[in-house]
Amino acid sequence: MRSVRVVVVGGGVVGFSTAVCISEALPSCSVCLLADRFSPDTTSDGAAGIVFAAPFPDIPLERQKRWFKDSFDHLLELAQCQASPDAGVILSSGWQIFKDVPAVKKPFWSEFVIGFRFMTDGELKRFPHHKFGQAFTTVKCECSSYLPWLEKRFRKAGGLVEKRKVTSLQELSDFDLIVNCSGLGSRTLVGDTQMYPVRGQVLKVEAPWLKHFIRDGDGQTYIYPGVHSVTLGGTRQEGDWRLQVDPAEAESILERCSRLEPSLRKARVLSEWVGLRPGRRNLRVERELVLLQGRQVPVVHNYGHGGFGVTLAWGTALDAVGLVKHCLNELPLQAKL
Ligand SMILES: Cc1cc2nc3c(=O)[nH]c(=O)nc-3n(C[C@H](O)[C@H](O)[C@H](O)COP(=O)(O)OP(=O)(O)OC[C@H]3O[C@@H](n4cnc5c(N)ncnc54)[C@H](O)[C@@H]3O)c2cc1C
């Protein structure tokens, strides 16, 4: 019997991953997901969805490795099964190239992706302005398909979904436990002033001849072939809240990408998009007690994934489930009955 009422706030990749993981792991919970925006209108929807990460500075690397590995294994399995076309998850091979040899040549996730190696001098010849490169196979997870797929999986596990803006956690005092996956919305919802936007602009172009990704190690320029189009990026503008496409930036993206891959000069532009990454110095997966209508209610936070939310969503969702379990053990008996 389902008796503990859990609410998840957030309908992006973090919210739906967390809601799925809770409802499947904890059948004693009835889980309701609330969000004011759903696919195709979330930040997650526009992300290229390449599985790749840079470390958060103050989180133990072992924990970040676990997040990466859990996510990678989950998505790799999806990419290699019948569900792959529905879920929008595919394998993606390519190169990350650097103008100068980086201080860390082997990133922390190199042991989890497939076939990580340094590029040979021969391979680097096609990038004359770059001195060093990494070749590997990772996963690309396209949220415009993946979010609807996760929603179906969540509903199948008994989850409920409601479109609603939450202005204060006080509105959720009817629930036994709150899970906050509101991304950048956490700045207002829980007053987290450490949250800031990192604006990103991208283009989608038609270039079906491109099969390999190319990412400049500075994170500013990338070419990610996907299921129906190729994503070209990008920008990383901290503190910039503008959601409009900037034509000068679009031109600069096309120019930078075409320098890496000249055939892109012939590609047709299909769409342009801007999203705000939920920036935070350190991603937050932790629990606390909040006083709501005179009652201490456990809140599990899972937000602040910055530019790596698609990459880390499943791993941090599993971590959040662990925190939910802790909270359930401490709930007063009447909530569990
Ligand atoms: C240009 C660009 C490219 C990117 N590329 C990649 C990539 O290749 N790989 C990668 O891993 N990541 C990438 N990212 C980052 C990724 O998009 C984010 O990290 C991820 O989408 C964060 O997911 P989220 O669920 O936390 O947030 P969101 O997708 O923003 O979802 C937040 C949810 O919370 C809801 N919400 C917020 N506040 C409230 C409220 N008060 N009441 C009700 N609902 C609320 C919103 O409606 C929404 O449903 C990219 C981002 C950008 C902008």
Find out whether the beta carbon of 36 lies less than 6 Å from any atom of ligand 1. yes
Write down the pLDDT at residue 3.
85
Question: Domains of the chain by range and CATH?
Answer: 4-94+138-194+280-336 (3.40.50.720)
Cα 251 to Cα 198, 224, 235, 245: the distances in Å are 20, 17, 12, 11
- Mean pLDDT (the chain, rounded): 96
Task: Encode pLDDT of 84-110 as tens digits.
Answer: 999 999 999 999 999 999 999 999 999
Q: What is the pTM of this model?
A: 0.96
d(CA 208, CA 236): 26
d(CA 191, CA 168): 10
Mean pLDDT in residue range 186-193? 98
Question: Looking at ligand 1, which residue's alpha carbon is closest to its atom 15?
Answer: 307
Task: Encode pLDDT of 257-272 as tens digits.
Answer: 999 999 999 999 999 9
Q: Amino acid identity of 95?
A: W
Task: Encode pLDDT of 37-47 as tens digits.
Answer: 999 999 999 99
Number of the ligand 1 atom closest to the C-alpha atom of 235: 1
Give the rounded percent of residues in the chain with a pLDDT score beyond 90. Answer: 96
Q: Amino acid identity of 163?
A: K
Give the rounded percent of residues in the chain with a pLDDT score beyond 70. Answer: 98
Mean pLDDT in residue range 178-186? 98
Task: Encode pLDDT of 298-324 as tens digits.
Answer: 999 999 999 999 999 999 999 999 999
Spatial CB neighbours of 331, under 8 Å, sequence gap ≥ 6: 4, 176, 177, 298
Write down the pLDDT at residue 1.
54
Q: Amino acid identity of 81?
A: C
Is 138 annotated as a binding-site member? no
For residue 253, the surrounding DSSP H or E stretch is: helix 247-260
Q: 330 pLDDT band (50/70/90 cuts)?
A: confident
Phi, psi (rounded to 5 degrees) for 145: -100, -40
Using the 8-state DSSP alphabet, how is residue 94 labeled? E
d(CA 203, CA 105): 29
Residue 336 has pLDDT above 70, yes or no: no
Task: Encode pLDDT of 209-246 as tens digits.
Answer: 999 999 999 999 999 999 999 999 999 999 999 999 99
Residue 335 has pLDDT above 90, yes or no: no
Mean pLDDT in residue range 285-296? 95
Mean pLDDT in residue range 136-148? 98
Counting Cβ atoms within 10 Å, is residue 319 exposed (0-12), middle (13-18) or buried (19+)? buried
Cα dihedral sign, 95-99-104-105: positive
Angle, CA of 179, 150 and 20, to the nearest 5°: 40
Find out whether the beta carbon of 33 lies less than 6 Å from any atom of ligand 1. no
Mean pLDDT in residue range 262-283? 97
Find out whether the beta carbon of 315 lies less than 6 Å from any atom of ligand 1. no
Find out whether the beta carbon of 139 lies less than 6 Å from any atom of ligand 1. no
